[in-house]
Amino acid sequence: MTQAKRGITAEDLYQMRYASDPQLSPDGKTLAYVENLIDVSHAYQNQLYLRKLDTDDPQPLTSGSRDTFPRWSPDGSKISFVSNRSGKPQIWLIDANGGEARQLTRCKNGVSNPTWSPDGTYIVFSSILDEGETFADLEGTEEKENAKAIHVGRMKYKSDDLGFIYEKNKQLAIVHVETGEVTPLSDGPYNHTIGSWSPDGKWLAVTANRAEDPDFQHSVDVFLIPSEGGEWKKLTNSKGIFAYPTWSHDGEKLAYIGSELDTHLYAAQKRIWVYDFEKGDYTCITADWDVQVGDSTIGDMRSPGHPNPGAVWTADGRGMYFIASERGNSGIYHVTLDGQVTSVAAGNRNIYGFSLHENEQTVVAAISDPFTPGDLYQVSLKDGEEKRLTAVNEELFAGIELPVPEEMEFVAKDGWKLHGWMLKPVGFEEGKKYPMVLQIHGGPHSMYGNTFFHEFQLLAAKGYAVLYTNPRGSFGYGERFVQACCGDYGGNDYRDLMTAVQYACDHFDFVDEDRLGVAGGSYGGFMTNWIVGKTNRFKAGVTDRSICNWVSFYGVSDIGYFFTAEEIQANPFTNPEKMWQHSPIRLVENIETPLLIMHGEHDYRCPIEQAEQLYVTLKHQGKAPVSFVRFPGASHELSRSGDPRQRVLRLQYTTDWFDSYLTLDKKVKITE
């Protein structure tokens, strides 16, 4: 007798895993990858594995608890990786056949992004250095925090992912693999990011904002650095934001991904550019292809910023493979130098990484879908045939029912085509009415899609229908669509969402129109605040890491002063009225919807003062039930990579709040 499956729970997070960062050996026979999990103490772990492609038996490569970023030496004899086993994340080396790992760097603030030189002699890496620090400062020499004054002299003195950075900058260096000798490559008040080595090992392609005033000039250029020191060469013209430079195998061209700044900073669609060294100029080879390059899919299992392969050249130098995002899916595409784009590994899923086999016939891809947080697959680039290489949640998910999202297309009031999904409740019964929760993504320039979303599946397990859509402002539907919300927050984007709700109520007879909820985080939190200030149609709302006041956001967010310039198209000095017009807090006297406010206390992207303003004004109005939950130590990334215990609590608060106002008995105790 088959045992009945259960719905997913918030606590299942502790058992969920996902695989990432696949790296094929130079001969294409062995795969190195990372398995990400949460241990019994509710702490994150990252473990490295090796797997022969002709076997089904992956083997642990290392014994550390936070080992990431495996990279093969060019001859395939060694693997470098980043581990915090000594304290800070440092480069370690291990023989590909196993054995004891050897520590290579001992930088005071740790390292990131190690990349081998073509001859295997050196590894280039980056490290964050404070003013006056050098690569000679060793780990373990950190001074204890004391009650000193800190002088701030620049605008960008804090960052949501790094905290207060003051005068810190990301610098580059190379380390000799045998001796451990470190040679600095960069300095100055600039942040530098590693790209790749030239095939002859003489040059490094890197990206950096080395503008005269990087606080106000946002261009990120591509530079060439002589690997043995010398004068830098600037390849781009300070009119764009570029990343992930990769060399063609013959060294004659360099590809990179990015966008020009002539129209937008955040809402510009990323494209592929190629610099031709013979011509001394660069062109955009995907200019006529109106699709976002890169993975823009948003979920709640991985933070943005996981390793990106960039544009991976074919051996003949005539084209490259890359990831792009379209209509809720991210897949692998091929583009020729004359701009002909072909989909080679697509489908209703989220590909978030890949490694190209040396035969260029297959890739190993990291793939998520609505039923899988993330596994690795070997995919043929010729016929699409797939072989699953990992099944890291097989045992856990064997007993869990995960509803299938139903895709929906509908039309906005002004004729724009819109796209979304409906998730039915677990144990769905025909003829029965269910409460529905509208979910709104952050960004706003990202997209919901065919990836795993724990929160959505949890709401479905609790008996809710879940509606999630991509209103204008989302990536995946062309550049005009993604830029359409700029200067119009709370305008047509709001109307798109209300159209989606009405479409769902009209076309899904199981939706109970009298029991609607709304939830969202970041921009989705802004929109939740806006919606409950505009309509009383929703019986409960959950606003997470939200924005309510653009005037104060300008001065307190780590991106406020330039984000508002593009997205709201206003500032507090020349047109404060426009900032106020788009601020949900001005609508607070209209709010009668019970609202749960959740916020991380160390959120520097949407600082907690936004939640405090909203909470105090709602309490003062006294028209609607309101509750405020603060998460100590949590950043803007709480829902995806925050403390696992806080992530579980956040999910429990969310479902308890909706249970209190949307279920028929409404006798649910809010999580303490």
How do residues 376-403 score in pLDDT, each as one tens digit?
A: 999 999 888 999 999 999 999 999 999 9
Decide if 374 is inside a domain. no
Residue-level pLDDT at 507 = 98
DSSP 315: T
Q: Where are the alpha helices (DSSP H) in 434-485?
A: 454-461, 479-483
Task: Compute the distance between CA of residue 161 and CA of residue 316 in angstroms, rounded to an integer.
Answer: 39
* 8 Å CB contact between 114 and 124: yes
- Alpha-carbon dihedral sign for residues 157, 579, 566, 490: positive
Annotate 640-669 with b (16+ C-beta within 10 A) or e (fewer): bbbbbebbbbbbbbbbbbbbbbbeeeeebe
What's the number of domains the chain is made of?
1
* pLDDT number for residue 142: 57
What is residue 261's predicted lDDT score, i.e. its pLDDT?
83
Whole-number Å distance between alpha carbons of 322 and 299 = 20
Would you say residue 82 lies in a domain? Answer: no
What's the rounded Cα separation, in Å, for the pair 466 and 517? 9
* Helix, strand, or coil (residue 353): strand
**pTM of the predicted protein model:** 0.96
The residue whose two tokens read 């509710």 is 42
Which residues are the active-site residues? 522, 636
Evaluate whether residue 388 is within a structural domain: no
Exposure string (b/e) for 245-275, b if CB count within 10 Å is 16 or more? bbbbeeeebbbbbbbbbeebbbbbbbbbbbb
Beta bridge partners, 369, equal 372
Place of tokens 């060469």: 233
Is 529 contained in some domain?
yes
Position 474 in a domain: yes
| Domain assignment present for 317 | no
Contact 93, 101 (CB under 8 A): yes
Structure tokens of 349?
């899923």
Q: Which two tokens stand for residue 406?
A: 């139903």
According to the model, what pLDDT value does residue 671 have? Answer: 45
pLDDT at 664: 72
**SS3 label, residue 595:** strand
Tokens 């959505």 -> residue: 456
Which residues, 6+ apart, have CB-to-CB distance to 259 below 8 Å? 240, 241, 268, 269, 270, 271
Pick the closest to residue 442 from 575, 349, 559, 536 (CA basis).
559
Q: 94-111, pLDDT tens digit by residue? A: 999 989 999 999 999 999
Q: Which residue positions in the chain have pLDDT lower than 50?
A: 668, 670-672
> What is the domain-level CATH number for residue 493?
3.40.50.1820
Question: Of 277, 256, 259, whose CA–CA distance to 267 is shortest?
Answer: 259
Which two tokens mark 590?
Answer: 């209209």
Tokens of 204: 């490094």
- Given its phi and psi angles, is residue 229 left (phi above 0), alpha (psi -120 to 50 degrees) or beta? left
Provide the Cα torsion 275, 278, 281, 283; round to 10°: -50
Is 455 a member of any domain?
Answer: yes
Which of 460, 436, 459 is CA-nearest to residue 513? 436
Q: Across the strands, what pairs with 324?
A: 293, 331
> Could you tell me if residue 601 is inside a domain?
yes
Which residues, other chains included, contact 665 with Cβ-Cβ below 8 Å and sequence gap of 6+? none
The predicted structure's pLDDT at residue 65? 84
Pairing of strands 312-313, 292-293: unpaired
What is the token pair recorded at 153?
Answer: 């002299």
The pLDDT, as a whole number, for residue 145 is 58
Q: How do beta strands 386-388 and 372-380 pair?
A: antiparallel
| Residue 364 near residue 355 (C-beta atoms within 8 A) | yes
The boundaries of the domain holding residue 432 are: 405-662
- Taking CA atoms, 634 is separated from 40, 71, 160, 229, in Å, by 21, 31, 10, 41
